[in-house]
């Protein structure tokens, strides 16, 4: 029987296999950030251990970094201590770090791919659940806990029990105006936030093959929101073209050898997945969430559902609670939900294509009165590219705030937070209660929907903008 992509990558990293024991897997790339690494370094220090492979380890600062006044000392003592601790640890153990102010600084899952470090057929781990992002390259990438971070630092391996495999096949072509974000939100709504539990999901099919690398990252990023350990997409010409010439991509004969290997990383015809889901792309539309978990979503053209309409009693109670927290009533049209804030950014939608598509919608227009819009690039490189293309001016002229790179309002560990009751259309990945600030209400959306929402003041897609005049027409 043939093997799936995930099984091939797994098998190629087994250091040791013994009956009745987990496999010992080799880790090709270990990414670190300030929040989940301090106790791991502390553990190393206590037991007198070193970092086994500093050349396979990279750290960035992202969760706590401010997006304004980055040259001033950080006000919050907890954030400051976490950053200072990371700097001290990386210095002491010889780990390469991109701190605040560095041109390679940014959200860890944006930085790895843009440096060309995330490559097909590698194993990538990080003390962060959205490590699944890197699976877009055909890497086996998953989040780990602090004890495991220490384990990888010390041994460059992890004892792991095998995952199960799931295929999500997306047939056909995405309709005009439907993005990767809409697709993954629709997939999560379909299989549920626990639907991927214990699985590595491989996304495949015509619609997936047509996606850019950045769109593929958006899809894999949110695999964890379906409960999956990882998401993967088989590498192809799009992948190779994205990688070629990047800082850490192989060159010359090594490039050729790498590509030859990468081409073998496809699920074989006769491989069997433990579970399969099929989606017809033509049936999809812009998708937004109305609730407090990423599975509680619906097409933008729909209305807030009646909790009574859910067959499962657990879903019904969850919907009731969500509507109460979100301050919504059943039957309310999603397009009529007014927002206070719009956030464009995060490791889900903070890359250059995301900024371009938001800017395209905003160009020559002004955001609605009373709406605040934050645009936070996923990394400094993304920011520099955007400035190069003049996107920062498009945002500023539309009335949006152009900020410094980081996680920012995705989780509100820095000062970018929602106030209680404030409602936000956000391109990030989690709409949990209080995620973006205590009492804050989050609707997950694509960058296009975020921009159209900022212009109209209520949830909207670019197709709704025909009646919003551009300055030339006023």
Partner 1 sequence: MEAFTTHTGRAVPLRRSNVDTDQIIPAHWLKKVTRDGFEDGLFESWRRDPEFVLNQEAHRGGTVLVAGPDFGTGSSREHAVWALQNYGFKAVISPRFADIFRGNSLKNGLLTVVLPAATVEALWELVEREPDSEVTVDLVARRVTAPGIEADFDLDENARWRLLEGLDDISLTLREEAAIADFESRRPVYKPRTQAV
- Given partner 1, ligand SF4, none, residue 165, with its beta carbon under 5 to 8 Å by kind, binds none
Tokens 């409602």 belong to: 423
Q: Which of 324, 131, 332 is nearest to 228 (CA)?
A: 131
Is 424 marked as a binding-site residue?
A: no
Interface region with ligand SF4, contact rule CB under 6 A, candidates 11-19, 42-50, 404-412, 416-424: 404-412
Residue 432 CA from chain centroid, whole number: 15
Q: Which of 51, 34, 39 is nearest to 105 (CA)?
A: 34
When asked if residue 81 is in the footprint of partner 1 (CB under 8 A), the reply is yes
CB atoms within 10 A of CB 301: 14
Closest separation in Å from C-beta 347 to ligand SF4? 3
Say if residues 137 and 120 touch (Cβ distance below 8 Å).
yes
| Helical residues (DSSP H) of 300-379, grouped into ranges | 313-326, 346-349, 352-362
Handedness of CA 282, 285, 286, 291 (dihedral sign): negative
Of 19-38, binders to partner 1 (CB under 8 A) are 24, 26, 28-29, 38
Q: Are strands 372-375 and 287-289 parallel, antiparallel or unpaired?
A: unpaired
Q: Which is nearer to ligand SF4, 130 or 404 (CB)?
A: 130
Q: Are strands 157-160 and 23-26 parallel, antiparallel or unpaired?
A: antiparallel
Q: Which position among 284, 407, 445, 451 is part of the footprint of ligand SF4 (CB under 6 A)?
A: 407
Of 246-285, binders to partner 1 (CB under 8 A) are 248-250, 254-255, 257-258, 261
When asked if residue 87 is in the footprint of partner 1 (CB under 8 A), the reply is no
CB atoms within 10 A of CB 286: 27
Q: Which position among 8, 30, 98, 130 is part of the footprint of ligand SF4 (CB under 6 A)?
A: 130
Q: Which is nearer to partner 1, 147 or 419 (CB)?
A: 147
| Helical residues (DSSP H) of 399-446, grouped into ranges | none
When asked if residue 354 is in the footprint of ligand SF4 (CB under 6 A), the reply is no
Of 282-321, binders to ligand SF4 (CB under 6 A) are none
Instruction: Mark 36-63 as b/e (b = at least 16 C-beta within 10 Å).
Output: bbbebbebbeeeeeebbbeebbbbbbbb
Closest separation in Å from C-beta 225 to partner 1? 21
Q: Which is nearer to partner 1, 206 or 256 (CB)?
A: 256
Mapped onto helix, strand or coil, the DSSP state of residue 140 is strand
- Given partner 1, ligand SF4, none, residue 457, with its beta carbon under 5 to 8 Å by kind, binds none
- Given ligand SF4, partner 1, none, residue 273, with its beta carbon under 5 to 8 Å by kind, binds none
Interface region with partner 1, contact rule CB under 8 A, candidates 54-62, 211-219, 264-272, 304-312: 54-62
- Given partner 1, ligand SF4, none, residue 302, with its beta carbon under 5 to 8 Å by kind, binds none
Site pattern 140..159 for partner 1 (x: CB under 8 A): ------xx--xx--xxxx-x
Closest separation in Å from C-beta 109 to ligand SF4? 6
Q: Which of 351, 279, 291 is nearest to 317 (CA)?
A: 291
CB atoms within 10 A of CB 152: 26
- Given partner 1, ligand SF4, none, residue 151, with its beta carbon under 5 to 8 Å by kind, binds partner 1
- Given partner 1, ligand SF4, none, residue 85, with its beta carbon under 5 to 8 Å by kind, binds partner 1
When asked if residue 403 is in the footprint of ligand SF4 (CB under 6 A), the reply is no
Count of positions on this chain that bind ligand SF4 (CB under 6 A): 13
Mapped onto helix, strand or coil, the DSSP state of residue 124 is strand
Share of the chain residues as helix, strand and coil, in percent rounded to the nearest 5: 40, 20, 45
Is residue 309 classed exposed, middle or buried when 0-12, 13-18 and 19+ CB atoms within 10 A define those classes?
exposed
> For residue 43, what is the enclosing H or E element?
helix 38-46
Maximal CA-CA distance, the chain? 74
Distances (CA, A) of 68 to 72, 107, 125: 9, 16, 30
When asked if residue 171 is in the footprint of partner 1 (CB under 8 A), the reply is no
- Given partner 1, ligand SF4, none, residue 36, with its beta carbon under 5 to 8 Å by kind, binds none
When asked if residue 223 is in the footprint of ligand SF4 (CB under 6 A), the reply is no
Is 126 marked as a binding-site residue?
A: no
Going by the annotation, the residues of the binding site for [4Fe-4S] cluster are 347, 407, 410
**Binding site, residues?**
347, 407, 410
Which residues would be at the binding site for ligand SF4 (CB under 6 A)? 62-63, 107, 109, 128, 130, 346-347, 407, 410-411, 428-429
Residues that bind partner 1 (CB under 8 A): 15-16, 24, 26, 28-29, 38-39, 42-43, 46-47, 49, 54-58, 78, 81-82, 85, 96, 116-119, 122, 146-147, 150-151, 154-157, 159, 248-250, 254-255, 257-258, 261
């Amino acid at each position: 029987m043939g093997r799936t992509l995930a099984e091939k990558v797994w098998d190629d990293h087994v250091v040791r296999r013994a009956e009745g024991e987990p496999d010992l897997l080799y880790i090709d790339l270990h990414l670190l950030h300030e929040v989940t690494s301090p106790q791991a370094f502390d553990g190393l220090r206590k037991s007198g251990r070193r970092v086994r492979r500093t050349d396979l380890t990279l750290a960035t600062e992202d969760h706590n970094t401010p997006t304004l006044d980055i040259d001033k000392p950080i006000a919050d003592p907890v954030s400051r201590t976490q950053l200072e601790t990371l700097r001290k640890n990386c210095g002491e153990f010889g780990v390469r770090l991109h701190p605040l102010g560095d041109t390679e600084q940014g959200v860890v899952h944006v930085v790895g791919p843009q440096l060309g470090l995330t490559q097909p057929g590698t194993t990538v781990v990080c003390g962060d659940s959205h490590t699944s992002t890197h699976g877009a390259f055909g890497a086996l990438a998953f989040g780990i806990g602090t004890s495991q971070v220490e384990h990888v630092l010390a041994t460059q391996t992890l004892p792991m029990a095998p995952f199960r495999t799931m295929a999500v096949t997306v047939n056909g072509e995405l309709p005009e105006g439907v993005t990767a974000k809409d697709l993954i939100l629709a997939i999560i709504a379909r299989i549920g936030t626990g639907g991927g539990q214990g699985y590595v999901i491989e996304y495949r099919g015509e619609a997936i093959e047509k996606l850019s690398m950045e769109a593929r990252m958006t899809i894999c990023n949110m695999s964890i929101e379906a409960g999956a350990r990882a998401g993967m997409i088989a590498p192809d010409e799009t992948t190779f073209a994205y990688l070629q010439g990047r800082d850490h991509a192989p060159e010359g004969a090594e490039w050729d050898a790498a590509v030859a290997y990468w081409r073998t990383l496809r699920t074989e015809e006769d491989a069997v997945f433990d579970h399969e889901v099929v989606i017809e792309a033509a049936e999809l539309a812009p998708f937004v969430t109305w609730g407090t978990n990423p599975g509680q979503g619906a097409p933008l053209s729909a209305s807030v559902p009646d909790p009574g309409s859910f067959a499962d009693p657990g879903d019904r109670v969850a919907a009731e609670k969500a509507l109460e927290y979100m301050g919504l009533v059943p039957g309310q049209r999603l397009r009529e939900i007014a927002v206070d804030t719009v956030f464009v950014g995060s490791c889900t939608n903070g890359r250059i294509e995301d900024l371009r598509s938001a800017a395209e919608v905003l160009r020559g227009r002004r955001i609605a009165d009373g709406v605040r819009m934050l645009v936070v690039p996923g990394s400094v490189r993304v920011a520099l590219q955007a400035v190069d293309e003049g996107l920062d001016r498009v945002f500023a002229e539309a009335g949006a705030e152009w900020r410094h790179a980081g996680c920012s309002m995705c989780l509100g560990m820095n000062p970018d937070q929602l106030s209680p009751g404030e409602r936000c259309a956000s391109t990030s990945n989690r709409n949990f209660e209080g995620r973006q600030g205590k009492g804050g209400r989050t609707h997950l959306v694509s960058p296009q929907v975020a921009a159209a929402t900022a212009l109209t003041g209520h949830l909207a897609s670019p197709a709704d903008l025909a009646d919003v005049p551009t300055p030339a027409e006023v």
